[in-house]
Amino acid sequence: MTATTQTRNRQEGPRPSTPTARKLRRGRALAGYMFVAPFMIVFLLMFLVPLLYAAYFSLFREQLVGGNVFVGLENYTRAFGDEQLWTGIARVCLFFLIQVPIMLVAALAFALALDTGLVRLKRTTRLGIFVPYAVPGVIATLMWGFLYGPDFGPFAQLAEKIGMSAPDFLGPDLMLGSLANIVFWEFTGYNMVILFAALRSVPTEIYEAAAVDGAGQWRIAWSIKIPALKGALAVCMIFSIIGAFQLFNEPQLMQSLAPTVIDAAYTPNLYAYNLAFVGQEYNYAAAVSFVLGLVILVGSYAFMFATNRRSRR
Amino acid sequence: MNPRFSRRTGLTAALAGPLALAACGRHTVDPPKSVTQDQIDEAMRTPTELNFWTWVPDIEKEVALFQDAYPAISVDIVNAGQGNPHYAKLRTALRAGNGAPDVAQLEFQMIPSFVITEDLLDLGPYGAAAIGDQFVEFAWSQVSGPNGEVWAIPQDTGPMGMLYREDIFQAHGIEVPATWDDFAAAAQRLHEADPEVYLTNFAPSQGAFFAAMLWQAGADPFGGSEGPDLNVDLTSPEAEKVARYWGELSEQDLISVDADFNDQWYQALNKGKYATWIAPAWAPTFLQSAAASTSGLWRVAPLPQWEAGQAVSSNWGGSTSAVMATTRNPIAAAVFAQFINTDPQSTATMANEQFLYPPTKALLEDPAFTGQQLEFYGGQEVNGLFAEIGTTVAPDFQWAPFQDKVYADFTATVGTGVAEKTDAFAAMEAWQARIEEYAKYQGFTVRKP
């Protein structure tokens, strides 16, 4: 893209700037703005304005008794020292470290397997892996909640039939793993589709050349396909970082099954929600949301920085 | 994983919630000293549209009766969710200054939470001051303010009783416990006889149940609070007694500690895991559909007592109709709230078709209501029993001005403590500490009597 811009500049630069050309250019520029206007308006109204308002709002403290006062950064100082918030952030970090590698490796394996053309019923298989993503997260969580049931869930019943006791999926030790499993089930197919699409755009000549050079399927996967997927994997990774840190639906729904395990601050998002809508601490909830946003930003940048440096080396 | 919009809802909601609070000078009604009948007649003849938020199924029936009586008024019914989601939306709309309903359903325990934010209209001047004696005392005292305000009109109640499985009791020779000591002994006996069955279940996130237990024991943790002065006393001897009782039953593994109102719990009720459900007057109807396979096996008894020979009960749940202070149609809204909850036909429909347990004396003394024999309970006259129990509900129990937060903290402290068999009284202290800290943060002056 840089190359094309440069060529265009070189062409346009020395050309005498006649009034008509200038008018034309201005007209063209205007058209450009018109084209992006619908997006920009919605972006401004629905994204930037609320964001700015929430930022403004996070500088106040409104009490049930005593009204609204400007408190500067007090909500942020509280957030940075809030043990509940940081326990939640640590928890989603752990969730991310366990869940995302497994999910992305599985998605990669499925994509590579489908791309070899050796899998039978390719479309059906692809669809089968993708289908869970089409199931609304709420339904998926309710379904898994039933499957995990300690007394009457199918796993528990099955274990009982063979004289064993099923692990307590909803207990404090396994809950995070149980949630990770739901997210794995929901999103592996989605990531697989991104990776699979990226694989389809690799020119087949490269594979032919590799085959001529005597490379087998494993070697092609390792030396050609996986390097070609670097960009797509990075995208999946960023989405996963954001998704993991914003974990909300699954724990929120599982709360009704295990209220003593999933507390009000189980994940940072759940904490912000409960602060705002149970405790009516709207201002502090806004500050917590910003701190969470900051953590996600730092995490995403750290990841991009690390991968960029490695690829440059 | 980009399109996890659902997951972002939390953050978006947290960000968008405050946005809606851009308090652009909201309009509220200046309550008049009194409203004349002429003014009321005039308002009820003027074409008006009322907005009514409620989650009561088939409320259209009562609304239709109202519209027959007042054809000029049309009522738009909105179901904004049940319980917490309803309150979250209501609060947001009220603070935004527009979009709030004229009339909304409020559970009894939420009334002080909306009074503290000055969101409710005092219905006293609109004729409600004169209708108090139509309601049972404990229901009316829950909607009354300290200076004679009427914050809402009671719609249904939940005096506490005990639903039990007669077949399980008979199979193990257990008598219906009259006192909590009997209850504990029965719990032990039953669990020893059949380790798969528990005498009852203590749901760790059911703050409302625990509040009913405190109420019955004579603890009134927030009693005497007024406006910014908040009393918090969760470590009184009465409260301690209740906490230790349930804590010890759980420690000895004599009761189960499953979360309630979820699929697992419904199955447990159907499969006979719990021999009793300590529950209010709305429970019998609820159970008929939730545990349909156990029809005929259940009976109802009064709540076990702390002292033999006593008859003291409390209340769990029940709702009211409240008029929002932001309404543009205070008279029509106030008349509507009173009509659906006092009109004989409307209240009878609620009680007999929607099975809302009535707070009006007229129905509770009506043999057509109290004498109904319910097949699910072996032909027992359940309504009549609860009507008797209702007369034993202590009228003085006060809710916190942030009761939803109190319940959330209950789950985190006492609920979890009982479930995990840790010291229940220490959990009460933790509950007290959390509420005190929160109340101070919200600007209350906290007093511990």
Note whether B65 and B120 are same-domain residues.
Answer: yes
Token reading at B298: 């259940």
| CATH number, residue B295 | 3.40.190.10
Question: How far off is chain A from B43, nearest CA to CA, in Å?
Answer: 34
Contact B417, B247 (CB under 8 A): yes
Note whether B292 and B178 are same-domain residues.
Answer: yes
d(CA B353, CA A43): 50
β-pairing verdict for B315-323 and B103-107: antiparallel
SS3 at position B36: coil
**A83-117: pLDDT as tens digits:** 999 999 999 999 999 999 999 999 999 999 998 87
* Domain presence at residue B2: no
* Domain presence at residue B4: no
Contact between chains at A289 and B408 (C-beta distance less than 8 A): no
Contact between chains at A285 and B14 (C-beta distance less than 8 A): yes
**What is the reported pLDDT for B412?**
95
List chain A residues with CB under 8 Å of B402.
Answer: 64, 279-280
Using the 3D structure, point to which of B370, B392, B407 is the last residue of a domain: B370
Note whether B170 and B246 are same-domain residues.
Answer: yes
The low-confidence residues of chain B, meaning pLDDT below 50, are 1-24
Judged by a CB distance cut-off of 8 A, whether residue B16 touches chain A is yes
Residues 6 or more apart whose CB falls under 8 angstroms from that of A137 comprise A186, A249, A250, B4, B6, B7
Contact between chains at B415 and A260 (C-beta distance less than 8 A): yes
Contact A232, A196 (CB under 8 A): no
Question: How far off is chain A from B53, nearest CA to CA, in Å?
Answer: 18
Contact between chains at B117 and A273 (C-beta distance less than 8 A): no
Note whether B98 and B226 are same-domain residues.
Answer: no
DSSP states of B220-251: -TTTT-BTTEEE--SSSHHHHHHHHHHHHHHH
Contact between chains at B18 and A259 (C-beta distance less than 8 A): no
* Domain presence at residue B18: no
Question: How far off is chain B from A17, nearest CA to CA, in Å?
Answer: 45
Distances, alpha carbon A4 to alpha carbons A7, A17, A41, in Å: 5, 21, 29
**What is the reported pLDDT for A29?**
82
Token reading at B10: 């939390």
Note whether B282 and B183 are same-domain residues.
Answer: yes
Contact B399, B108 (CB under 8 A): yes
Contact between chains at B443 and A65 (C-beta distance less than 8 A): yes
**What is the reported pLDDT for B395?**
87
Judged by a CB distance cut-off of 8 A, whether residue B13 touches chain A is yes
Question: How far off is chain B from A213, nearest CA to CA, in Å?
Answer: 37
List chain A residues with CB under 8 Å of B8.
Answer: 246, 248
DSSP state of B373: P
pLDDT category, A164, cuts 50, 70, 90? confident
Distances, alpha carbon A211 to alpha carbons A117, A216, A223, in Å: 15, 7, 12
Question: How far off is chain B from A89, nearest CA to CA, in Å?
Answer: 14
Note whether B193 and B150 are same-domain residues.
Answer: no
List chain A residues with CB under 8 Å of B442.
Answer: 63-65, 280
Question: Yes or no: is domain A90-312 CATH 3.60.150.10?
Answer: no
**A53-81: pLDDT as tens digits:** 999 999 999 999 988 999 999 999 999 99
Question: How far off is chain A from B351, nearest CA to CA, in Å?
Answer: 29
Domain residue extents for chain A:
90-312
- Report yes or no for ipTM above 0.85: yes
List chain A residues with CB under 8 Å of B205.
Answer: 256, 259-260
Note whether B359 and B256 are same-domain residues.
Answer: no
Note whether B257 and B303 are same-domain residues.
Answer: yes
Domain count, chain B: 2
Judged by a CB distance cut-off of 8 A, whether residue B267 touches chain A is yes
* Domain presence at residue B5: no
**What is the reported pLDDT for B73?**
96
DSSP state of B313: B
d(CA B67, CA A226): 70
β-pairing verdict for B445-447 and B229-231: parallel
d(CA A207, CA A221): 10
Q: Which helix (H) or strand (E) holds A145?
A: helix A137-148
**What is the reported pLDDT for A163?**
85
Token reading at B196: 């798969």
Judged by a CB distance cut-off of 8 A, whether residue B79 touches chain A is no
Contact between chains at B11 and A53 (C-beta distance less than 8 A): no
Note whether B268 and B347 are same-domain residues.
Answer: no
The 10 Å CB-count burial string (b at 16+, else e) for B328-359 is: ebbbbbbbbbbbbbbbeebbbbbbbeebbbbb
Note whether B395 and B424 are same-domain residues.
Answer: yes
Residue A220 has pLDDT above 50, yes or no: yes
List chain B residues with CB under 8 Å of A283.
Answer: 18
Note whether B305 and B406 are same-domain residues.
Answer: yes
Residues 185-204 of B with CB under 8 A from A: 204
Work out how many CB contacts closer than 8 A connect A with B: 163
d(CA B120, CA B144): 12
Q: Which domain, by its residues, includes B115? A: 29-157+317-370
Note whether B335 and B401 are same-domain residues.
Answer: no
Question: Searching chain B, which residue's CA lies closest to the CA of residue A243?
Answer: B1
Residue A24 has pLDDT above 80, yes or no: no
- Amino acid in the structure at residue A246: Q
